[in-house]
Structure 1
Amino acid sequence: MTDPSTSPLEGETTQRPWFDELDWVSLPVPHASFPAEHAPRLAVLNLNEQRDAKLFYNSVQLAFEDRSPERVASGMGQRIGGWIATAADVSELANYWASMIVQYDKRERAYALRFYDSRSIALLWPLLSDGQRQVLLGPVGTWHTLDACARPCVYQGGVALHAHLQLKETQWEAIRAHEHINRALGLMMLDEQRQPLPRDIEIAVEAAQRYEAYDIEDAADRALFILHALTWHPRFDMHPVVRHAMRAIGPDTFYSEALSVLSDSDISAIRQSSL
């Protein structure tokens, strides 16, 4: 499975000449506002054939290359969504997964659930119940991909109890924070030139549950708040100097501006504190 909305695999012609020879099946996403050219795509690989085995190897290389700190921090998605084992026909799977992409919350607002992006599904999967996981997977038996820390992982479902995901409001709240979490993790990766650790993911998710308490509404500020939890201290917002600075947050003062008053010595004290 691939995501062509980032950069095309067919552009990899020098070292990977076979991607454009595959018969791709695009997911027919049922929403007029979703660009057809951005729809994820599926292709069948027969690993008993030399060409397809080589292509599989090259796709694994691409998946790891796309986790480079520079690419992730630039906001580019993951071109390789993973490798699927299923008894279903590729068109059947494409139609089923297309029906999963556009989800509606209780206020009937439409959201594109980017589960086909490996960094997105890594945050979404822990939120889902066993039944929801199977609903999402549908006819998929096993889904191999990379987790949030760029480690190989496998997604498998249980027994589907419903025909729809039926996401709860608490799940929607967490899902809406995922873009800010992944943005912050990307910035941390670039700054520290490394992949995130499981504890980094935990810190980021926990921080995303707190920024609303401080009336932080701007998307960039929300990512910055999470980044501070990752690079300063997991509970940095409990430090007296931070709490004092955040009192300035208001309609005319963003979070980033409010915290710009902190000095290097302030930040050092925050990092060394035992909050």
Structure 2
Amino acid sequence: MSAYLLVDPMLREPFSEDLLQAEPRETWTVPVRHPLLKPEQRPRLIRLHPHDTHLLKASLALALSEQADPDAEGEQGFVLGGWLLTDAPADALARHFARCMQGGFPGETNPKFIRWADRRVIEWMWPVLTPNQQAGLLGPVHCWYSLDRCGELVRYEATSDAKQEGVGFSAEQWAHATRNEAVQDLLRGWQRFAGVLPSDYLQKASEATAATISAGLSNRQDRVLLGAYILQVHPQLTTHPTVHSLIARALRGDATLAQALEGVPDPEGWNTIRTELERHAGLSQLQPATQGERLG
């Protein structure tokens, strides 16, 4: 069994040259091809020897530091993809990842580069993959370790009865993949005002993002803004008549979304909206909703 660091240097180099040259460290490039990807931006595998605690500590510190600052993350992304255990030769592992990272997907004619070396991608996509797709993504990897946004160690491994198959996405999985950017935008915004995220951050951010998309918002800043209100006020915020009308006003171009939402007194107005939504949710559990039922 050998251990490897999976790194994604698309936006920056993960380690200083001095660190990597301090002692011999073997590196393999994942031979993925994409028109916009320079050779030095391709993902890489770095063999992690059992005695190399210095590099192990540096990789853990890197993973923690790059997700501690939302603004830096927005500019530089995540470089540390995780720690891998495998008994396969490194060049075979590199070729396997190259196959997984590129290919055709439903409705997409141009070649796509799926950044599995970015740990945000595997965290987002893993739950919607079938067991066989999960096994196909891991391939010769026995265990893939990563960190979530709460600093907890996450372990990805295939189920014992899964059979490896390709990770070409279905139409539904591709639609899920395209929402990742909006969810990550919201998570960074959430971290700015909350500091520490709850353990179910991904589910809550996903639901809030889906609500902003269903409301008709396409601007990234507007989605983050409304998503932040949803997270702070109520999951069903966009269903409230007052908020619904404010969103419609912004979509018509009568005002920006920020200007429209400023029309609600803070905190009194938002507290009232939260109370009405909670009361409506309680009534809905007690009796069937009637056609045309409104909040308030």
* TM-score (ref. length: structure 2): 0.80
Matches of 1:219 and 1:174, distance apart in 2: 17
Deviations 1:63-86 (A, max 9, x none): 112220345653432221111000
Match of 1:66 in 2: 66
Q: Which stretch of the first structure deviates more once superposed, 127-136 or 234-243? A: 234-243
Question: How well do the aligned residues superpose, as a CA RMSD in angstroms?
Answer: 2.6
In structure 2, the CA distance between the partners of 1:115 and 1:255, relative to structure 1 (3 Å rule), is farther
In structure 2, the CA distance between the partners of 1:108 and 1:244, relative to structure 1 (3 Å rule), is closer
Matching residue within 8, 22, 27 for 1:3: 8
Q: Post-superposition shift, 1:251?
A: 6.0
For structure 2, the 5+ residue unaligned runs are 1-5, 282-296
Match of 2:29 in 1: 26
Matches of 1:116 and 1:146, distance apart in 2: 13
Matches of 2:124 and 2:166, distance apart in 1: 19
Matches of 2:155 and 2:164, distance apart in 1: 23
Q: How does 1:160-171 map to 2 (within 5 A)?
A: 161=163, 163-171=165-173
Matching residue within 10, 31, 42 for 2:45: 42
In structure 2, the CA distance between the partners of 1:238 and 1:232, relative to structure 1 (3 Å rule), is same
Matches of 1:242 and 1:222, distance apart in 2: 14
Q: Which stretch of the first structure deviates more once superposed, 231-240 or 36-45? A: 231-240
Q: Post-superposition shift, 1:162?
A: 5.7
Identical residues among aligned pairs (%): 25
Matches of 2:172 and 2:193, distance apart in 1: 32
Match of 1:128 in 2: 129
Match of 2:265 in 1: 263
2:255 equivalent to 1:250: no
Match of 1:180 in 2: 182
Match of 1:211 in 2: 212
Q: Post-superposition shift, 1:243?
A: 1.3
Letter in 2 for 1:10: F
Find the structure with the greater CA-based Rg. 2
Letter in 1 for 2:153: P
Q: Which stretch of the first structure deviates more once superposed, 174-183 or 157-166? A: 157-166
Match of 2:138 in 1: 137
Letter in 1 for 2:107: R
Q: How does 1:85-96 map to 2 (within 5 A)?
A: 85-96=85-96
Q: Post-superposition shift, 1:168?
A: 1.5
Matches of 1:181 and 1:259, distance apart in 2: 21
For structure 1, the 5+ residue unaligned runs are none
* TM-score (ref. length: structure 1): 0.86
Q: Post-superposition shift, 1:182?
A: 1.0
